[in-house]
Structure 1
Amino acid sequence: MKAELIKKEGNKVTLKITVDNNKFESAVNKAYNKTKSKYNLPGFRKGKAPRVVIESQYGKGVFYNDAIEILFPEVYPQAIKELNIDPVDSPNLDVEEISKDNGLVMVLNVEVKPEFELGNYKGIEVTKVENNVTEDEVDLKLKEMLDRNSRLVSVEDKALESGDTAVIDFEGFDNGVAFEGGKGENYNLVIGSNTFIPGFEDQLIGKKAGEELKVEVNFPEEYHVEALAGKPVVFEVKVNDVKVKEVPELDDEFAKDASEFDTLAELRADIKAKLQEEAKKAAEVELKNTIVEKVAENTEIDVPESMINNQINNMLNDLNYQLQYQGLSLQHLLEMTGRTMEQLREERREDAKKLVKSSLVLEAIADAEKIEVSDEEFNQELEKMASAYNMEVEKIKSSLRPEDIEDIKGQVKITKTLDLLVESANIA
């Protein structure tokens, strides 16, 4: 195999890979043996036709694409290593020639990591932010605990108020015709939560269990179901039950029931200590992010489009996972907000570009400072992972692929690089 760098313009590289004819012919034979079962030719049992016969019927290049797919995973990594280039996306491939004299000649165009000069990254001037925990924040955490330990209790002959839960049956009608998705039974609706169409919940206020009513509302103009958008509809509703939230008293008894502490004072102190630890960690993260942003501002980089797009993909995948926990999806989000996927991607473009630039800068600093990860540091990271996932270290280690090991070492290297930046910064 021979690799040649044809040209480099900015972050785009053109290279040529030549595979001699003997190696290519071997790959063609492998392709023939792999795919011959697909061919059924007269005079031969299926999958038994010789290669030359199949080529005479379908053309000499019938196995070429499969042969290239067989060769590519072997020759491409060798070529980029030999040429010392670092691709950031899959290459576009064109076959320039296939012949006995020259074998397989491929021309590839690919985006690579940009070359750039690091700006100043030591002695960065930053102001440390102090995140002090207030008693109001402690009160808020206690309120959340109360809410988690509260229960819904049915109350007879109670008129619905804001904050109550109405257990309802409902069915929606558009000009007297029931519409899809407009029906529910024993649905728990918190009055004032604004989870239903505007105006729906207000019309339930004052109603009691056993009462039936008609709720007249208009669907919003931007409603995701086009057939209903902006339309007036009628819901036939029956209130089956009225429930109120029964919240426990915030006292020593609550502390005993909801925690490992005997008194409310001990519980408050523990909550405050944990909040202070969280605030300290958040301040450290904010400090590191500020330093990296300032270092990135000192460095000019032509960020490759493919890296920006890949980062946007990662951001949207994360968003989709978050939405799935709420029973939603990206498609639901687009429908509810009236946006397109292109608009959603464009909204995240600038942040994605900043993240990629910061990542490139950190990698360059790690290289400049010759930061490495020792076996001891790697094992310490595995121990942290084992503790977080409640697994044995050896079990995690045995499951790691080579690329997983490199990813973990890469994360440790970046952490060490961030620590170096903080140590060398002038923090006020």
Structure 2
Amino acid sequence: MLNRLETIEKNKVKLEIEVASPDVDTALAKAYRKVVRQVNLPGFRKGKVPRRILESRFGPEILHEEALELLVPPAYEEVLNETDISPIGQPDFELIQIEEGKPLLFNAVVEVLPPVELGEYKGVEVEQEEASVDEIQVDQHLFMLREQNARLIPKEEGEAEEGDLLTIDFKGFIDGEPFEGGEAEGYSLELGSKIFIPGFEEQLVGASPEEEREVKVTFPDKYSKEELAGKEAFFKVTVKQIKKKHLPELDDEFAKEVSDFDTLEEMKDDLREKLLNNAREESKARMEEALIGKIAEKAEVDLPQTLVERQLDRLIGEFENYLRYQGMAMDQFLELAGKKIEELREERREEAERRTRINLVLDAIAKKEGIDVEDSELDDKIASIAESYNDSTDRVREIIEKQGRLPVIREEMRIRKVIDLLVSEAKIEMVKKEKEKKEPQADQGDSSAEEKQGGSEPAPKKNTGAEVKAEIAEKEENE
């Protein structure tokens, strides 16, 4: 039972907990029966050492650890249920007393959810853009389809141009000496991709097959490998092969090859409809984000750093997954961006704080409105997940429970209910979407060196069938 609850600092409490002496005696007896089976003492058969002799030989503490494992967790959980405390981390336990015939006394210091003072969250005014699709967007997606289905034709003659795919061998030197990580054979490089340090690719424009070139570059001042930062280097590069990208013609034959339609116009119509549906979903998502942001700004809450750091870990994990789907490891990205992981975390700290605030506010609204998820609703959700992967509900539930994700899914559903409530109560004004300035089509794949090496995120790759399957596999694994 709880003897005393004390707030010792902001969002941290101390619970003084007591367990009745009969329960302590029972736990010590169970601990003895388990420990004695592991003890060998001369003159006694294994498992037959009397408790009095065991404690005399090794001290009563030999039973305490085992008994505490039996007593502390359930007592702590019982107190949490009694007090309606919401811990946000593991407690620090302090043992005060454990002795046969006496109650167990211990303290638990734990960080708890902070109080949230909600502002107005019903009737909030928010704008939502009307969904629309223009021909430029359709053309962009058709261009992407052509890129995905492009043929690479070896260039036997002629010089390398931007957009060509080169196969190269290279070896880098600093002060005349090779350096670690500066050598590769059979490396595929698309000229204009800007994935190398500034100046490298530009010096290969105009090269011919089997030509050897010396490329001189300077590593960025902010480079992940400090020993290379700001240093001049030169690379011996051999161009082994040059391939030119040949885009297929945009006609009915192309439509038949890449879709289930017989004509280009039919494929375009289907593409427009899909883009419009995506635009509607994106418009709704942006409206919801703006609405939640407004509501969160009106609330007053102190953000516990434990939650902020936890959210930061999630953001970095999400980014690592994103990179993996692009075929890049985190170390590679940091090297290209010239950053350290600590810098990346600091860049995302503001977003982590924003998400933490939103989560606390939505949780507070859920509690105030009495919003929860029934077991039957959770069952329906699991059945829906199973159906989407053409699997049995029992097997999917088993996977979810094994991964400990059942509470996560339940919480996601609860928060979805909160958002639906906020949207239903909001005053939504539909507005025309502002036209964005479009870059010329030819410049689509060209990004600045800063964007490629030091920007917030690398540009997404086209979503190939293999990547879609990988995403499905990851979802099944996570859900």
> TM-score higher than 0.5 here?
yes
Identify if the C-alpha distance between structure 1 residues 337 and 58 changes in structure 2 by more than 3 Å, giving closer, same or farther. Answer: farther
Match of 1:108 in 2: 108
Worse overlay, 24-33 or 306-315:
24-33
Q: CA deviation at 1:306?
A: 2.1
Identify if the C-alpha distance between structure 1 residues 143 and 408 changes in structure 2 by more than 3 Å, giving closer, same or farther. Answer: same
Worse overlay, 320-329 or 186-195:
320-329
What is the correspondence of 1:383-394 to structure 2 with a 5 Å cutoff?
Answer: 383-394=383-394
Residue identity matched to 1:273: E
Q: CA deviation at 1:369?
A: 2.8
Matched-pair contact (CA < 8 Å) for 2:222–2:339: no
Match of 2:146 in 1: 146
Residue identity matched to 2:4: L
What is the correspondence of 1:250-265 to structure 2 with a 5 Å cutoff?
Answer: 250-265=250-265
User: Identical aligned pairs, as a percentage?
Assistant: 39
Worse overlay, 273-282 or 214-223:
214-223
Structure 2: state its 5+ residue gaps: 430-479
Matched-pair contact (CA < 8 Å) for 1:222–1:336: no
Identify if the C-alpha distance between structure 1 residues 355 and 195 changes in structure 2 by more than 3 Å, giving closer, same or farther. Answer: closer
Residue 418 in structure 1 maps to residue 419 in structure 2? yes
Matched-pair contact (CA < 8 Å) for 2:197–2:336: no
Matched-pair contact (CA < 8 Å) for 1:165–1:243: yes
Worse overlay, 236-245 or 191-200:
191-200
Q: CA deviation at 1:339?
A: 4.6
CA–CA distance in 2 between the matches of 1:223 and 1:298?
41
CA–CA distance in 1 between the matches of 2:360 and 2:226?
45
Identify if the C-alpha distance between structure 1 residues 227 and 47 changes in structure 2 by more than 3 Å, giving closer, same or farther. Answer: farther
Match of 1:96 in 2: 96
SS in structure 1 of the partner of residue 224 of structure 2: coil
CA–CA distance in 2 between the matches of 1:164 and 1:385?
43
CA–CA distance in 2 between the matches of 1:105 and 1:186?
68
Match of 1:5 in 2: 4
Residue 240 in structure 1 maps to residue 240 in structure 2? yes
Matched-pair contact (CA < 8 Å) for 1:158–1:242: no
Q: Deviations over 1:78-122 (max 9, x none)?
A: 111122211111111111222345332111111222333432221
Matched-pair contact (CA < 8 Å) for 2:116–2:360: no
SS in structure 1 of the partner of residue 163 of structure 2: coil
TM-score (norm 1): 0.88
Match of 2:409 in 1: 408
CA–CA distance in 2 between the matches of 1:106 and 1:112?
19
Residue 286 in structure 1 maps to residue 263 in structure 2? no
CA–CA distance in 2 between the matches of 1:131 and 1:307?
36
What is the correspondence of 1:1-400 to structure 2 with a 5 Å cutoff?
Answer: 2-8=1-7, 10-28=10-28, 30-31=30-31, 55-56=55-56, 59-100=59-100, 102-334=102-334, 336-337=336-337, 339-374=339-374, 377-397=377-397, 399-400=399-400
Worse overlay, 360-369 or 32-41:
32-41
SS in structure 1 of the partner of residue 116 of structure 2: coil
Residue identity matched to 1:5: R
CA–CA distance in 1 between the matches of 2:163 and 2:407?
52
Equivalent residue pairs, number: 427
Matched-pair contact (CA < 8 Å) for 2:124–2:425: yes
Residue identity matched to 2:182: G
Worse overlay, 89-98 or 134-143:
89-98
Matched-pair contact (CA < 8 Å) for 1:164–1:191: yes
Q: CA deviation at 1:58?
A: 5.1
Residue identity matched to 1:419: D
Residue identity matched to 1:61: E
CA–CA distance in 2 between the matches of 1:371 and 1:397?
23
Q: Deviations over 1:247-271 (max 9, x none)?
A: 1001111011010111111111111
Worse overlay, 261-270 or 203-212:
203-212
Worse overlay, 302-311 or 328-337:
328-337
Q: CA deviation at 1:347?
A: 3.2
Identify if the C-alpha distance between structure 1 residues 101 and 109 changes in structure 2 by more than 3 Å, giving closer, same or farther. Answer: same
Q: Deviations over 1:131-150 (max 9, x none)?
A: 32221111111111111101
Q: CA deviation at 1:335?
A: 5.1
Superposed CA RMSD in Å reads 3.0
Identify if the C-alpha distance between structure 1 residues 88 and 351 changes in structure 2 by more than 3 Å, giving closer, same or farther. Answer: same
CA–CA distance in 1 between the matches of 2:197 and 2:343?
26
SS in structure 2 of the partner of residue 348 of structure 1: helix
